[in-house]
Structures are given as structure tokens and as C-alpha cells.
Amino acid sequence: MSDSIIQYGPSGNSKEIENILTHIFSSNMNITDSDKKPTPVCIWGTHGLGKTEMVKDYAKQRGWKFNYIAPAQFEEMGDLHGMPYVSESPQGVKRTLFSPPDWVPIEEGPGILLIDDINRADDRILRGCMQLLQNYELSSWKLPQKWQIVSTANPEGADYSVTPMDDAMLTRMIHTTLIFNHKVWAEWAIRSGVDKRGISFVLTYPELINTDRTTPRSLTQFFDLIKNIEDLKENINLVLSLALSTLDEVSASSFVNFVNDDLQKLIEPEEILNSNNFKDIKNRIKLLSKDSEGEKRIDRLSTITTRLYLHITSPTYKIQTNHSENLIQFFLLKYLPKDLSMSLYMDLLKFSNEKIKKMLRDKRLASFLVDAM
């Protein structure tokens, strides 16, 4: 892929862009001047980043309505404008009007109309979208109240077959660019039920993501394919074939090494928190902290720590009686690098759960904090 990618607007991960969307949508909802229209948003980003899923998830999380169009698939202007019909007034005046296509929402919002891959449409269709973006209406129909327009686009200047948008169209929208963040992706993956072994792989090798073939989308497809394979090592040839069918060769071979190195068997957050014998957890982490040749494996410990944080801060997590004690013992592990444990401590300190904050004030962690600073 070409490095000379043209970027529009500020860049951010999906969480940061969701915050931008929330502010823009709030401003749009507060418009009272009938002559002023809401402002649509365009989210730029390379293929497979999850732009579409992010917008869909945004609407779902808030209970909003969601409609989707892919103008690149439109062959006729009628797909965009709707079909013409003749209307006659009581005075006998005949006018040609357009009935809205089936993708046009008919109920009042809040809702999001997603125009997906807008700059993959041909120039004729793209120009036809301008009135919709500016006035939230097209031909003789309008979008219902409280609907927001979001479009997604692939960057210009890369190896994409896109139709350049001129300044007249660009200035009709607010622009931002989505970038991949492995921790934010992992939060989404946990909520969405992605295979835990796949989440551990991404957290261990985040540098592999965002090549031409290894993207968040293709990885999710691969993880769905292996979800029902209980023993990956025993079926490693099948796993490799599935990996090569969805990912690039480097990523596929890295996943095989990940499996052969038993990294898919890293300690789960639930095991750490629910343990009735933390000495066993301590011994397992000690074994994982070094490889067979005695070399330190910070990557393993980093993945364990990150997954523990994501589990604790997930909306579905409920702290149990023994969790605080086990978490304190985890902080005090000698095999855990101080920068990892300190990073976990500071991240949890920002978390709003009062029970977690109370645990972090435990006297036994005082010496840990002094040593870490």
C-alpha cells in the first residue's frame, strides 16, 4: 500500500472518534433554526479497520435506529433518488415527484444513516449525494427529524479505487480519521464475544495489524473460523490453512508460533481473580515469565496484565469478595515488571469503580508503589 495517504481531520481510535460523534450529534440535535441543517460526519480510514462496525455499534449501544447504504453498489440514479411518479394537485397542476427508496428511514430518530465507502461510488452518484449531505433531503423527500448522517471513506493517495471528492463536497462534512488501537479493539472484541485466544494474539502482536491483508476485519473472520477448534495445537495444519486464507503469511506464521508456544493458554483474568489458591497462579506466572531458554518473556506478562485490566473495566464485570485480595497479590508478584504493574495500577486508579479504588488504597500496596517509583 502506498505511504502517500491523504488524511482528513484529526486522527483517533474508535473511543476518541465516538466522543467526537457524541459532541457533533448533540450540537445537531440542539439546532432550533429551521434554516440551519445538521452537519454530517465523514470517517476516513484504511480498509478493514472497523469503521462500519464502529458506527453500527455506536447506534446499538444507545438504542438508536440504524440505516445503511453502500452507494458504490448503486447503478442508477434511481437507487439514490427513488422512482419518479406524477402527482396532481386539486387545481390540476401536475408535478414529477420521487418516492423515497427503501433505505430512507420513515420514523423519527434518533438514528444514524450510514453512507458506507462514499468515495467508492462513481462520480455521478457521488455528486448526487451532495444535496443529501447539505440539506438532509433529496429530490422530493426529507430525512425524518433527529437523524444523523455519517459517511465512511477510504483514503485518497493509497492503492484504492476511489472517486476524489472536491472541496465543494468535502466542506459539507466534518472529517476525522480512524486509526487502530489494539487495547480499544480488545475492549470491543470482549463485548462482541471474539475468541479469547484471538484477543490474546492481538494484544501480544499488535504490530502485525494493518497490513494489506491482516486487518481487524480479517482477524475477526479468522478468529470466528477457529472458535470451535478446541485444541489448536492438535489441529495446527488446519489452523495454518485457515490463517493463510484470511491473513498475510507473516501473520499466519506468527499465529502458528503463538499456538506452538502455548501462548493461547495464557492465564485468563477470571482465573486470577477467582483463584482460591493464589500460590498456584503465582507459580504459573513464574513459569510464563521466561521461555525454555531462560529468556524473559515480557510480551506474555504484558498480555496477561492488559487482559486483566480490560476484564475489570468491562461493563459486565462485578467485583467479588476474593477479587480484591487476589488483585493485591497480583500487584505484589516479583516476576511482574514494575512498569507493567504500575501502568495497571494507574489505569485502574482512573476507573470509577469505588470498590476497586478502595482496594488500591490497601496498605500492602504502599511498599509496591515506593519500589515502582
Residue span(s) of the chain under CATH 3.40.50.300 come to 11-179
Regions in the chain scoring below 70 on pLDDT = 1-6, 32-34, 158, 264, 352, 370-373
> Taking a C-beta distance cutoff of 8 angstroms, is the pair 326, 287 a contact?
no
Rg (CA), the chain: 25
DSSP class of residue 176 equals E
- By DSSP bridging, strand 147-153 and strand 41-44 are parallel
Task: Give the amino acid at 52.
Answer: T
What CA–CA distance (Å, rounded) separates 323 from 340?
Answer: 19
Quote the pLDDT of residue 56. 95
User: Does the bond joining 206 to the residue before it have cis omega, within 30 degrees of 0?
Assistant: no
For residue 142, count other CB atoms closer than 10 A to its CB. Answer: 14
Under 8 Å between Cβ of 300 and 334: no
The architecture that CATH gives domain 11-179 is: 3-Layer(aba) Sandwich (3.40)
Whether 77 contacts 124, CB under 8 Å: yes
In 215-353, at which residue ranges do the beta strands (DSSP E only) sit? none
Residue type at 51 in one-letter notation: K
pTM across the whole model: 0.79
Read off the pLDDT of residues 181-220 as tens digits, 9 standing for 90 and up: 999 999 899 989 999 999 999 998 888 887 778 999 999 9
